[in-house]
A and B are shown apart, each in its own frame.
Chain A
Amino acid sequence: MNRHAFVSVVPDKCVGCRVCEYVCSMEKSKVFNPTRSRIRVTRIYPHTNAALTCRLCEDPPCVVACPRKALKQSEENGVILVNDDLCNGCGWCIEACDFGSICLDPEKKVVRMCDLCAAREAGPACVEWCSEEALELTSKDVLSQKARIEAIQKLVKAEEAGKSG
C-alpha cells in the first residue's frame, strides 16, 4: 500500500490561489464551484496556505466510520470508493477525516473524495494546473525517500561548513 500514489502539497510552495479547486470542480462537475472541489485550499491569515486532499490512508478512518459500509478502499490504487446507493450523506466520514478531505455533493447528497482523476489519462487535473508546482502525485514511499535525501544533504552541508569554518 505504501506505494499508492496520492496528491500531496508542499505548503511552502502553495500560494493559496485555489486554481486546484476550480479545475477539480470543472473536471468533476463541469462548473466552477470550490464547494464541490475534492481538493480544498486553506489560508490561515496572514500567509499560511495549503491545499489538502485525500491522502489514501492505510486503514482509512472514513471507511471505519461509515455506519452503512458505503465506503471501501480500492485494492488496486488505494482510493476510497463510494457506493452511492448505501451512502446517505450522514457525514461521519467527513468528521473522521483528519484532513478535511471529504466533501458532500450538494445535489446527490452523497460524499465525494479525490479519485486521482481516474478517468483522466493525464492524471490529476489539479497537479497539472498548479502553476507553483506545489502539488505532486507521489507516494509515502517516495516522500520518505525525499525526506532522507534532504536530511543527509543538510548533514553533509553542516559538516562541510564545520570543516571550512
Chain B
Amino acid sequence: MHTYTGKILHVDLSTGRSRTDTFDEEFAKAYIGGTGFGIKTLIDNQKPGVDAFDPENPLIYVVGAVTGTMIPAAGSKFGVFAKSPASNLLGEAYSTGRWGAELRMAGYDIVVIKGKAPHPVYLWIDDESVQLMDAKHLWGKSTWETEEMIRNELGDQLIRVSAIGPGGENLVKVACLLNDHFRAAGRTGLGAVAGSKNLKAVAVRGTHDVSVAEPAKLLELCKDLYERCKGPATTKYRTLGTPANILTLNAQGALPTRNYQSATFEGAEKVSGEYLNEHFVTKIQGCTACPCRCEHIAEVSEGPFKGAIARVEYEPTMAFGPYCGVDDLAAVIKAIEYCNLYGIDAIGTGIIVGFGMECYEKGLITKGDTGGLELKFGNGQAMVEMVKKIALREDIGDVLAEGVKGASEKIGNGSQHFAMQIKGVEMTGYEVRGLKTCALGYAVSRRGADHQRHGSYTWDQTGKVDRYKVDSGRGKLVMGDEDNYCIFDSMILCKFTRTIWKGYDEIAKVYSLVTGIPMTGAELEKTGERISNLARLYNVREGLTRNGDSLPPRVLKDPIPSGTSKGSFVSEQELNTLLDGYYDARGWTREGVPKKAKIEELGLSAYAQIGARG
C-alpha cells in the first residue's frame, strides 16, 4: 500500500500519553480516507450519546487518500471530525493550504485526540516525535499570532499550525480551526471542541517521503489533469473566484438577503466578484500542488477599515454582504478578517449577525443588549463590532455565540421563525426556497445546513429540473450527488476541480495509481454510498430522526417576496414528498433509518443494531 502511512496517532490529553495504531489495506479500500476515515473513526471511538464538550468526544484529524501527492488541487487537503456542539450530530469540516501534506509526511493518516488537558496545551508532531507543549502564553492569542509564535518558538518556519482563536477558547458554537493564515476547517463548531479540551493548536512538521505505486503513469495522467485545470472547467475560480456567484444568484433570485427576508440584493453590484477584484484583490495564490490557485487575497487600502486583509470567497461575502444588507466590501473584508483572527466560521457568523439584525429591527433585542451598537441591516460598522462581541461573548454576543438555534431559543418571541439553521447549523448561501432539489440536499445534509455535501443546486440552476417544483425523483438525484461528494471528500479532491474529472472510473484509476490498491469506478461509487450510510448510522445513533431532516420555518412558510423567484417557498407537503423520495432511494425507512438489507449490502453489519429491524 503506497501513499497511505497506515498509521493512526492516538493522543490522550488527560494523561499526556500517545500511542500509534495501524490500519490495513482492507480498511483503506473500504473507507478511502478523508470523510470515510473521519466518520469511521468517530463512530468507533466516541462513546454513544456523549456531549460534544465531554472529554470523551474525540477530535479527529484525517488526510485524504491522495494528500501529499501532486494530484491537482488535492495536495494538502485534510478533514476534522468530532461530535458537533452546534448539532450534537456529526461534526465535519475540511481545510487545505499546507497543513494536510505535512501530517502525512510526518507519518500519520489519522490523529485521534481525546481527553482534556489540565491547562492549555498544543500538540507538536515532529515526524515520529509527539509532544504536548505548554500553551498558557498562547491562550487568548489570535490564530495568526499563535501560528507565528509556535513557528518562532520551535524555530522552524515550515511548521504548519491548525489553531483556534478566542472563539474556540470561549466555546462559541461556530468556532473553527484556522491554518496557514487563510484556511479554515470552518463548519460545525469544531474549534469549540478543541477549546473544550484546552487544546490551542496542532503543529506539524513532516519530512518523510510520500511514495506512489506507479510514478510514471501517474505523472502522465497528471499532465493531462493539470491541462484540464487550466481550461474552462476552472476559469471561474482562477479569475473572479467564487464571489462571481453574487451576481449569478442575484439574477436567479437565489441570493440570501437580510436574513432570508429577500432573495435579491439591491447592492449586489457593490459586493460582486467583479467589484471585489477591481478594487480589493491584491494577490491570487494557491494551495499546495494546485494549478488552479483560487485564493483571492483582498486588502482594504483606505477608509475606516484600512489595513484589513482576508481571503475572500462567495460564502463569507454573501454572509457579511447581502445577508446583513451591507453593500460595503471594506466592511465585509474586515468582518472576515476578524473571523479569521478570532477563529470563528465566517459563514455561520455572518448568518448569526444577520439574525441579530432582524431581532434588533423587530425590537426583540435593544441597544442595551448590543452594547450600544445600532445593529440594523446595512450597518457595516456595527456588523464588524458584533463579530468581535460574538467571539468574545460580550453583551448580546454571549447569546449569539450559541448559534442562531441556541440564541433564538433564548431570545424567543417568535425569533425561531427566522432562525435560519438546520440541525443547529447555520444556513449557507443558496436561497433554497427557489432551488428545491437543493432544498432537499440541505434538509438531509449530515452536517446540518450545507451546500457542500451534495452540490445539488446544479440541477436547479442549470434547468435540468424545474427548480420551483418538487417530485419524488429528486431523492435519487441528491443521493447520487451525496455519494459522489463522499468520494471527493475521501480522496480528498478539491470540489473546484469537480468538472475536470471523467467520472468514478478516472478517480478510481488515480486511486490505484497512487495507492497500488485495485479499485474500479463501480467499487468507488459503492464506497460513496457506504460512507453516506455510515454517516447516517452515526447520526441515528446520536438521536437524529426524520424531524431533524427539516428546513427553517421561514423556508417552509414565507414565500420569497420579490425578484425572479417571487412567491416560491417549500411547503411541508413538498418537503415530505422530497424526504419520502430520498429515503426510498436510499433504502431507508420513512423515518430515515437505514434498513438491514442496505446495511448488509454495504458491508456495515457491525453497525446493524443502530439500523432498522427487518
Chain A residues in the interface with B (C-beta under 8 A): 15-19, 22-23, 26, 29-33, 35-36, 43, 45-47, 49, 106, 129, 131-132
Contacts and interface: CB of A to CB of B under 8 A. Distances in A.
B289 A22 contact: yes
B178 to A, nearest CB: 12
A46 B211 contact: no
B293 A15 contact: yes
**Interface SS of chain B:** loop
A132 B209 contact: no
Categorize the interface residue count of chain B: 20 to 34
Given A17-B289, A32-B212, A47 B70 contact: no
Interface in B190-208: 207-208
Contacts of B107: none
Contacts of B209: 29, 31-33, 36
B69 interface: yes
Interface string B209-240: 11110010001000000100110000000000
Given A26-B215, A35-B207, A18 B291 contact: no
Contacts of B215: 26, 30-31
B291 A17 contact: yes
A19 B207 contact: no
Q: Which 9 A-B pairs have the closest CB atoms?
A: A17-B286, A131-B291, A31-B209, A47-B283, A22-B70, A15-B286, A32-B210, A15-B293, A15-B285
Interface of A is mostly: loop
Contacts of B208: 33
A43 B284 CA distance: 13
B287 A46 contact: no
Interface string B306-345: 0001000000000000000000000000000000000000
Contacts of A47: 282-283, 285, 297
A31 B181 contact: no
Given A31-B211, A49-B285, A17 B293 contact: yes
Contact of A15 (B70, B229, B284): B284
Nearest to B102: A34
A18 B289 contact: yes
Interface string B129-154: 00000000000000010000000000
Contact of B226 (A15, A43, A106, A129): A129
Contacts of A32: 68-70, 209-212
Contacts of B230: 131
Interface of B: 68-70, 75, 98, 105, 144, 181-182, 207-212, 215, 219, 226, 229-230, 282-291, 293, 297, 309
A16 B210 contact: no
B70 A23 contact: yes
Contacts of A23: 70, 219
A33 B226 contact: no
Nearest to B282: A47
Contacts, number: 76
B125 to A, nearest CB: 16
Contact of B286 (A16, A22, A45, A129): A16
A16 B71 CA distance: 16
A30 B75 CA distance: 17
A33 B283 contact: no
A17 B288 CA distance: 5
A49 B284 CA distance: 10
B142 to A, nearest CB: 13
Contacts of A43: 285
8 contacts: A17-B291, A23-B70, A30-B211, A30-B215, A31-B215, A32-B70, A35-B207, A47-B285
A19 B70 contact: yes
Contacts of A49: 285
Given A30-B211, A30-B215, A32-B211, 4 more contacts: A17-B291, A23-B219, A31-B210, A45-B181
A103 B69 CA distance: 20
Contacts of B105: 33, 35
Nearest to A128: B223
B294 to A, nearest CB: 10
A22 B182 contact: no
A106 B207 contact: yes
A16 B285 contact: yes
B459 to A, nearest CB: 31
B70 A46 contact: no
Nearest to B238: A131
Nearest to A129: B226
B492 to A, nearest CB: 16
Contacts of A30: 211, 215
Nearest to B229: A131
Most chain B Cβ neighbours within 10 Å, of A16, A18, A26, A32: A32
Contacts of B291: 17, 19, 131
A50 B13 CA distance: 39
A35 B206 CA distance: 9
Nearest to A45: B181
B229 A46 contact: no
B290 A17 contact: yes
Contacts of A45: 144, 181
A33 B207 contact: yes
Nearest to B286: A17
A58 B211 CA distance: 37
Contacts of B70: 19, 22-23, 26, 32
